[in-house]
Chains A and B, each alone.
Chain A
Amino acid sequence: MWTAAEETVTSSFASFIHGVQPEHLSEVVRHRSKRMILDSIGVGLVGSTTRVFNIALRYCQLYASNAVSSVYGRKGLKLSPTLAAFTNGIATHSMDFDDTWHPATHPSGAVLPALLAASQMLPPSSKPNGLDFLLAFNVGIEVQGRLMRFSTEAHNIPNRFHPPSVVGTMGSAAATAKLLSLNVTQCAHALAIAASLAGAPMANAATQAKPLHIGNATRLGLEAALLAARGMEASPLILDDIPGCSGFSAFYGDYRPKPLPLPASSHKFLLEKQDVAFKRFPAHLGMHWIVDAAASVRNLLINYSGSFSPSLIRAILLRIPVSKYINRPFPESEHQARHSFQFNACTALLDGEVYLNSFTDGCIHRQELMELLAKVLVEHPEDNIANFDKMYGEVALVLENGDVLTGRCDTFYGHWRKPLSRESLLKKFQSNASHVLPEDKVNSIITTVENLENLSDSSQLASSL
């Protein structure tokens, strides 16, 4: 036990991870986190059809021993727990279809695969139940959210380290430590070991390597907890500010850590106050604003002239926040296309919406699309801040005859201010999961997750994938 004098930020986190109980989960938090779990699984299942996933899987199969953990969409195939977490994490982020939070990160993909893999590691007599699993999941989410609040830098769209690789690794370590019931000291060491495994640069976003950020976050966080469980020790002050010798602060320009309130005094999970956004199509979150804006101005054009005729358009103005890695006039690969305001705006203008298959090679290089892309100009209004809570998207069509039609989106459907309905979320899940699973399996996963608290053996969730 820590006395008040010995309390450090690091120890407060360890105490929280160790001490928080299921009864601390409020209704809202349970509900929201189950939606996240369902969406994450669906996104991972469809992601198991991607090329990047296949490369990772082929690699992991070289090391397949102690194969106890399931791989999304590969019935009968098992890998060692950390490698299963790795591949499933990659699947989750492979198409940029997974959830996004504020401050910005992709929280669930960094946590869920580790928990699924770990749940299958434990002997039958000590399998965690569904409620334990849900609690561990929320610990992993909560820790990520708390860590991001240690810096103002974290509030905006990132430009140095990719947040999932920083806070995601820590969240995975925390969640796994919770699931494995590590003691307080081990929880602290798990966090510290994880810090030495965290951090990937933004430059690999919009490349095929980006999904590895989530894959590694979940895998290495799991590993950190497993090492801590075996007695590995690291810095007891990893989250605290140590001048001249950086701990977790190494990843940020400004860093002001705060201790967590202990669970005993009514802990409020961040998920209660701040929900996640679920994506409607597999692209960077910023794209969702511009797509909704483009869809609305497309309707205006149709009403105006009877049909959507690109030849009427002289120029397309996009009013977007400043963010280099999502500003790409002519994306060449699917990864770049998912990170291009221009591409997504034009696709939505052409098709009315962006779909799963909008990113195939055929669609990316369509003649009609290239013609529209050539007409795009980008503006960065000062009031459009690169922040998922504040940004907006505006698409203005300057017609040949001089008229201007404008569409604007402040909050897209799926954003935390306008969450997907249960029907929409289930539809997304079913559409994703049915790529690799039969209908009855798909529906049984939905039922399992919606009733997660009542599941007696949570490893059943992992084995159903």
Chain B
Amino acid sequence: FFPQTVTENFANVIHGLKASHLTDLVIQRSKRMILDTLGVGLLGTSTEVFHKVIQYSKIYRSDASSTVWGHSDFRLPPLYAAFVNGVAVHSMDFDDTWHPATHPSGAVLPALLALSEALPQKQKFSGLDLLLAFNVGIEVQGRLMRFSNEASNVPKRFHPPAVVGTIGSAAATAKLLALDQFKCKAALAVAASYAGAPMANAATQTKPLHIGNAARHGLEAACLASLSLQGNKQILDMESGLGAFYTDYTPRFLPTLQSYSWLLDQQDVAIKRFPAHLGTHWVADAASSLRKHLVESDDSVPISRIKRIVVKVPDVRYVNRPFPNSEHEARHSFQFAACSALLDGSISVQSFSDQNISRPELKELLSKTKLEHPADNKPSFDNLYCEVNVTLQDGKVFSERCDTFYGHWRKPLSTEDLKKKFHSNASSVLSVEATEGIIETVDNLEKVEDCFVLSAFLKGTQSTKVLSKMCLS
């Protein structure tokens, strides 16, 4: 009798999980994630980075084709559809964030939707199939991150979506394809050879590709595995396997299928209210509160009266940018978030336009801003806080602190606000009918007979009324 390896254990669980294992809470939370991810992705199709990857991917158009979100004029092969849609999801750093830190949904959902359209006609996937595969992809990511202490803090070396996201995408795809245990294992192993991207590309235009590639490469790994490609059967067990990406690595077994407990049950995601690095959300809330001390809501902040702004945050280098030069840098700047929120009262999609980034008032405020890193402010999304202190010329000091921003897992967005965010995002590229259609479909995902309706809404077809009728069985 051979003791089971962690890798084999993962393969068995991926293979063995059924819809009946999904709890109500997990279903509810994951549907919120799906809706938010779709909205964020649709909005993201208007970005420059998205346009570049579309141009690139169009080289490889062929008949086996899947939907590009927000585009009814052309389709792409599933691999490239997964890629571009994944890029769209992360293009503005507007997608969900989990603890330990990663962006779980963007690595998984685009791959599943792209694949669901590419398979032979008689093979259809229900909403429940999609929901289950989605959760397998999320769960695997969460479990892998618990293999190292390093993963609990804001990352410094490898960008987590590129590591665990790729494996998660492979697991989710393997589930949707109903691969047997051996092939599930192979999918994980092959995916590991695609994983990993350095942090230095965060805050650049290439960062969204980390999610796009995670989705696409995980999908590819599972497809290669389904064609019987094999890798190392102990890929998750070995230090020279997935352990290569971590300095401390202790793989663990998953719970037994008899009574499976999902991580999403115990630990929700954070949903962002504006498109920037999660750390900036604490800053925005603190700065917005502080602004109320300075002026009435509609008045402009008296910049010349401000002498100094101190923002107390954890030491996270890649979000420490005193004078961001591009939208990507602005989305990764504690300083920018503080000054934007002080100026405008809140941060929105528009805060990152070229015009707003280069406003003189903003630059003036930025020049008065500095960061401090108190020893008790840990670089962990579960523990960090932000304190903003503003000192006026006359010596008066105002201070506000945020421990938990609205949207964080400790203070989740209400259903209404989640839908509002989706509406605002989706309506930038879809009709009202399609937008409502997606909300309704995702809300009732467990009952959807064929999830192709979701893809049909996503590309924005005309006959949305027909589709609305079809989505409920």
Do A and B bind? yes
What 0/1 readout, one digit per residue, does chain A (128-169) give for beta carbons within 8 Å of chain B?
000000000000000000000000000000011110010000
CB contact between B52 and one of A192, A196, A203, A227 (< 8 Å): that residue: A227
Range for the number of chain A residues in contact with chain B: 35 or more
**With a CB–CB cut-off of 8 A, which chain A residues contact B63?**
65
Contact B235 A203 (CB under 8 A): yes
- The reply to whether the CB of B156 lies closer than 8 angstroms to some CB of chain A is yes
Contact partners of A204 in chain B: CB under 8 A: 189-190, 192-193, 231-232, 235, 241
Report Cα–Cα, A196/B223, bound state, in Å: 22
Known: A66-B59, A161-B244, A250-B158. A193 touches B231 (CB 8 A): no
**B236 CB → nearest A CB, Å:** 9
The verdict on A55 contacting B228 (CB below 8 Å), with A161-B244, A195-B198, A235-B206 known, is yes
Known: A196-B197, A209-B232, A245-B202. A62 touches B52 (CB 8 A): no
Which residue of the partner chain B has the closest CB to A212?
A: B193
Report A-chain residues with C-beta under 8 Å of the C-beta of B197: 195-199
Q: Does chain B have a CB within 8 A of A200?
A: yes
B213 at the interface (CB under 8 A from A): yes
A43 within 8 A of B: no
Within 8 A of A (CB), among B228-242: 228-232, 234-235, 238-242
User: Which chain A residues lie closer than 8 Å to B194 at the CB level?
Assistant: 200, 216
Checking A66, A160, A209, A324 against B231 with a beta-carbon cut-off of 8 angstroms, the contacting residue is A209
Q: A65-B60, A198-B196, A212-B193 are in contact. Are A235 and B232 (CB under 8 A)?
A: no
Q: Which of B219-268 contact A (CB under 8 A)?
A: 220, 223-224, 227-232, 234-235, 238-245
Near B by CB (< 8 A), chain A positions 320-344 give 324-325
Is B77 an interface residue, CB under 8 A from the partner? yes
Complex: how many Å from CA A295 to CA B245? 40
Nearest B residue to A52 by beta-carbon distance?
A: B229
A159 in complex: contacting residue of B158, B201, B235, B240, CB < 8 Å: B240
For A207, list chain B residues within 8 Å (CB).
189, 230-232
Residues of B within 8 A of A193 (CB): 201, 206, 209
Q: Which of A159, A245, A247 has the most CB of B within 10 A?
A: A245
> Which A residues touch B244, using CB under 8 A?
160-161, 199, 201-203
Instruction: Report whether B201 and A232 are in contact in the complex, using a CB–CB cutoff of 8 Å.
Output: no
Q: B residues 302-327 with Cβ under 8 Å of A? A: 315, 317-318
B108 at the interface (CB under 8 A from A): no
* A242 within 8 A of partner (CB): yes
Residues on the B chain within 8 Å of A202, using CB: 240-241, 244
A248 at the interface (CB under 8 A from B): yes
Residues of chain A with a CB closer than 8 A to B315's CB:
244
User: Is A80 close to B, CB under 8 A?
Assistant: yes
> By CB atoms of chain A within 10 A, which of B55, B200, B224 has the most?
B200
Q: Output the least CB separation between A248 and chain B (Å).
A: 6
- B64 CB within 8 Å of chain A: yes
Shortest distance from the beta carbon of A218 to any chain B beta carbon, whole Å: 14
Q: Is B398 an interface residue (CB 8 A)?
A: no
Provide the bound-state CA to CA distance between A435 and B154, in Å.
52
- Whether, in the assembled complex, A366 has its beta carbon less than 8 Å from a beta carbon of chain B, the answer is no
Complex alpha-carbon distance, A197 and B83, angstroms: 13
- Rounded to whole angstroms, the CA-CA distance of A62 and B231 in the bound complex is 22
Asked if B293 is an interface residue, CB under 8 A from chain A, the answer is: no
Q: Mark A176-188, 1 if CB is under 8 A from B, else 0.
A: 0000000000000
Provide the residues of chain B in CB contact with A325, threshold 8 Å: 240
- The proximity string for B residues 93-109 relative to A, scoring 1 for CB distances below 8 Å and 0 otherwise, is 00000000000000000
Contact with B along A232-268 (1 / 0, CB 8 A): 1111011000111111111100000000000000000
Kindly list chain A residues whose C-beta atoms are within 8 Å of the C-beta of B229: 52, 55-56, 208-209, 212
**Distance (whole angstroms) from the CB of A165 to the closest CB of chain B:** 7
Chain B: minimal CB distance from A226 (Å): 6
CA distance A458 to B79 in the complex (A): 30
B189 neighbours in A (Cβ, 8 Å): 203-204, 207, 209
Could you give, for residues 336-368 of chain A, a 1 whenever the CB lies within 8 Å of some chain B CB and a 0 otherwise? 000000000000000000000000000000000
Residue contact A59 to B223, C-beta cutoff 8 Å? yes
**A19 on interface, CB distance cutoff 8 Å:** no
Contact among B61, B193, B210, B220 with A213 in the assembled complex (CB-CB below 8 Å): B193
The smallest C-beta distance from B190 to any residue of chain A, in angstroms, reads 5
A161 to B243, CA, bound (A): 10
Contact between chains at B228 and A63 (CB < 8 Å): no
Tell me if B199 and A250 are in contact (CB < 8 A).
yes
CA distance A226 to B199 in the complex (A): 22
* Beta-carbon nearest neighbor of A54 in chain B: B227
Question: Closest CB of chain A to B141's CB: distance in Å?
Answer: 17
**Contact A246/B190 with A55-B224, A80-B60, A233-B206 known, Cβ cut-off 8 Å:** no
Contacts of B245 in A (CB 8 A): 199, 201
Please name the 4 residue pairs, one residue from A and one from B, whose CB atoms are nearest each other, closest first: A247-B200, A203-B241, A209-B231, A244-B317
Known pairs A65-B59, A203-B238, A250-B196; list 4 more (Cβ under 8 Å).
Answer: A65-B63, A83-B60, A207-B232, A209-B229
Interface residues of B (CB under 8 A from A): 49, 52-53, 55-56, 59-64, 77, 79-80, 156-159, 162, 189-190, 192-202, 204-206, 209-210, 213, 220, 223-224, 227-232, 234-235, 238-245, 315, 317-318
24 contacts between A and B (CB under 8 A): A52-B229, A63-B62, A63-B77, A63-B79, A160-B240, A162-B193, A193-B209, A195-B201, A199-B196, A202-B240, A204-B232, A206-B232, A207-B230, A209-B193, A223-B56, A231-B52, A234-B206, A238-B198, A244-B156, A245-B200, A245-B318, A247-B198, A250-B196, A250-B198
